[in-house]
Amino acid sequence: MPGPAVLDVVRSPRTLRIGSLDRDTESGFAVLDPATDAELAIVPDAGAAHAGLAADAAAAALVEWGASAPRRRSEILVEAFRLMKERELELAALISAESGKAPDDARAEVAYAAEFFRWFGEEAVRSEGRYVTAPDGRSTTVVTSQPVGVAYLVTPWNFPAAMITRKVAPALAAGCTMVVKPAAETPLTALALADLLGEAGLPPGVLTVLPTTRPGEVTDVLLAHDAVRKLSFTGSTAVGRHLLRAAAGRVVNCSMELGGNAPFVVCADADLDAAVAGAMVAKLRNAGQACTAANRFFVHSAVLDEFVERLTVPFTGRRIGPAADEGTDVGPLIDHRAVARITALVGAAVENGADEAHPPSAVPAHGSFLAPRIIRNVAADADLATEEIFGPVAPVIGWNDEAEMLRAANATEFGLAGYVFAGDTHHAVALGRALQCGMVGVNRGVVSDPAAPFGGMKQSGLGREGSHEGLAAFQETQFLSVAAG
Ligand code: NAD
């Protein structure tokens, strides 16, 4: 049975709160627990009409919210941070229920997600401009920032809270109003966050969550709405490309956080304990379903056997199970399709000469589980290495020549995260700089930090979230040329 945290979030399976009004929907859709396939809740299914109403509500709220005192916006964000910390366990349980995320990972996500409210609460009062005399002395240049307008925020299921707060917090700090479209797999956390922001003092209409099974229909309406000036999307590169084309129609400002294929480089002089610890988090956090997940392990041949041997112990020792069991380290994948897709990728690699470093651990009979696996001797051009795996499988590729390894590591359309482990820090930093990745972990397996710019190069995205760049993404620059005198 779903816990009270889940049931409280959905007021009615057919009613959505838009602005100050409850609006009926024609139907609702089921949210499932990936560990059991059981139904958790029925959620109202928004359509085109709701999208129009939500955009209208955001446009109406923009007048006051966009002109509100930065200190007021800051205080609401800081209060939202406090409420998230207070409800950490409740929110973690909700994330686990709808995404299958293991308990420790879910609690870590709530802590990470809350930090965006705190960081941007602090940033809200630090937005600065410029004031300079023009070179010819005949005018003064005044540069200011304004909220970009109504923002449309589209998020994936793999971090149901953090992918929302990473957009919502800077958008609120900048003075934008918004419509949030969560993934259909994980709308409950999004609804809970909207309630929490309301409690923190956010006025009606500033933020509306639209759960939907018809993302195309809702998106068409929002991108056509006059007031919508910003699209911030996190998800796959394929959908991102599609949305960029759709946004071009009205030249909507776009931020894109897309897929990854992170190289994880281990040099011959690396501290292997640190490399194994880094690999565990970079590969197994959220069962490998992270855009920053290590996707290809480039291990120097002098340490390859030892690295694989050492990694095998914790890899096979992880407890696989439902998030409802406190001892679970690795939860289920989001659905059965994901299990079938990754199993096929591993099968094809093995057929082409790769080999499994260890027998996979047993998994529960029900639910979409996949055991962590290390696959050796993977060809750099195998689908297992070129596609984003998004699961707990670690393909290992040996190397001897550094220049060749770097060429292979960069031979991908993606450029989100990368990792380098080397004993010589200067060398590690130089290798990190040579990777065509927006973020590189140097001798560590984590790159995400609300105070640092998160984002990708190449087809992994456009723009950055977090840090000062995250606020700028929701601001429009205006320059006033003021006559001297
Ligand atoms: P997805 O692209 O399938 O879906 C993402 C969002 O787009 C969901 O809300 C979905 O409903 C919506 N969507 C799908 N089709 C749409 C359409 N035609 N019009 C409008 N919206 C549409 O991705 P996913 O499976 O939810 O998430 C996994 C992907 O997200 C991976 O590729 C992962 O790397 C990426 N991701 C990237 C980051 C990052 O910061 N770069 C973070 C997390 C996840």
Read off the pLDDT of residues 319-346 as tens digits, 9 standing for 90 and up. 999 999 999 999 999 999 999 999 999 9
β-sheet bridge partners, residue 131: 142
Q: What is the pLDDT of residue 5?
A: 54
Q: Give the number of C-alpha atoms closer than 13 A to the C-alpha of residue 433, restricted to the C-beta side.
A: 5
User: Which backbone phi and psi does 352 adopt, to 5 degrees?
Assistant: -95, 20
Best residue among 99, 213, 236, 237 to mutate for probing ligand 1, ranked by most atoms within 8 Å of CB: 236
Query: 89-93 long-range contacts, Cβ below 8 Å, gap at least 24?
Result: 90/5, 91/5, 91/161, 91/189, 91/192, 93/3, 93/5, 93/6
Please check the confidence at residue 485 and state whether its pLDDT lies above 90. Answer: no
Q: How far is the CA of 71 from the centre of ligand 1 (A)?
A: 33
Rounded CA separation 297/282 (Å): 11
**262-413+417-449 CATH, one of 3.40.309.10, 3.30.710.10, 1.10.10.10, 1.10.3720.10:** 3.40.309.10
Instruction: Write b or e for each residue in 391-413: b if 16 or more Cβ atoms lie within 10 A of its Cβ, otherwise e.
Output: bbbbbbbbbeebeebbebbbebe
Q: How far is the CA of 157 from the centre of ligand 1 (A)?
A: 8
Dihedral (Cα; 319, 321, 322, 323), 10-degree rounding: 10
Q: Where exactly are the structural domains of the chain? A: 3-259+460-482, 262-413+417-449
Closest approach atom of ligand 1 to CA 260: 34
Please check the confidence at residue 65 and state whether its pLDDT lies above 60. Answer: yes
Active-site choice (98, 109, 257, 465): 257
**3-259+460-482 CATH, one of 3.20.20.70, 3.40.50.200, 3.40.605.10, 3.30.1050.10:** 3.40.605.10
3-259+460-482 and 262-413+417-449 share one fold:
no
Q: What is the pLDDT of residue 11?
A: 74
Q: Give the number of C-alpha atoms closer than 13 A to the C-alpha of residue 253, restricted to the C-beta side.
A: 16
SS (H, E, C) 81-106: HHHHHHCHHHHHHHHHHHHCCCHHHH
Please check the confidence at residue 292 and state whether its pLDDT lies above 50. Answer: yes
Rounded CA separation 342/357 (Å): 17
How long a stretch of residues is the chain?
485
Read off the pLDDT of residues 428-463 as tens digits, 9 standing for 90 and up. 999 999 999 999 999 999 999 999 999 999 999 999
Q: Of all protein residues, whose CA lies closest to atom 8 belonging to ligand 1?
A: 183
CA 233 to each of CA 156, 193, 243, 462, 467: distance values in angstroms, whole numbers, following the listed order:
9, 18, 8, 10, 17
Please check the confidence at residue 12 and state whether its pLDDT lies above 90. Answer: no
Q: How far is the CA of 295 from the centre of ligand 1 (A)?
A: 18
Q: What is the pTM assigned to this prediction?
A: 0.97
Percentage of the residues of the chain whose pLDDT score is greater than 90: 96
Q: Of all protein residues, whose CA lies closest to atom 40 belonging to ligand 1?
A: 257
Read off the pLDDT of residues 20-55 as tens digits, 9 standing for 90 and up. 999 999 999 999 999 999 999 999 999 999 999 999
Dihedral (Cα; 382, 385, 390, 395), 10-degree rounding: 100
Does residue 257 have an active-site annotation?
yes
Q: What is the pLDDT of residue 126?
A: 93
Best residue among 95, 291, 388, 414 to mutate for probing ligand 1, ranked by most atoms within 8 Å of CB: 291
DSSP secondary structure string, 456-476?
-SGGGEES-BSHHHHHHTTEE
Read off the pLDDT of residues 119-158 as tens digits, 9 standing for 90 and up. 999 999 998 899 999 999 999 999 999 999 999 999 999 9
Q: Which residues line ligand 1 (CB under 6 A)?
A: 154-159, 163, 181, 183-184, 215-216, 219, 234-236, 239, 242-243, 257-260, 291, 388, 416, 456, 461
Please name the residues in contact with 179: beta carbons below 8 A apart, sequence gap of 6 or more: 51, 54, 55, 58, 150, 151, 152, 153, 207, 208, 210, 222, 228
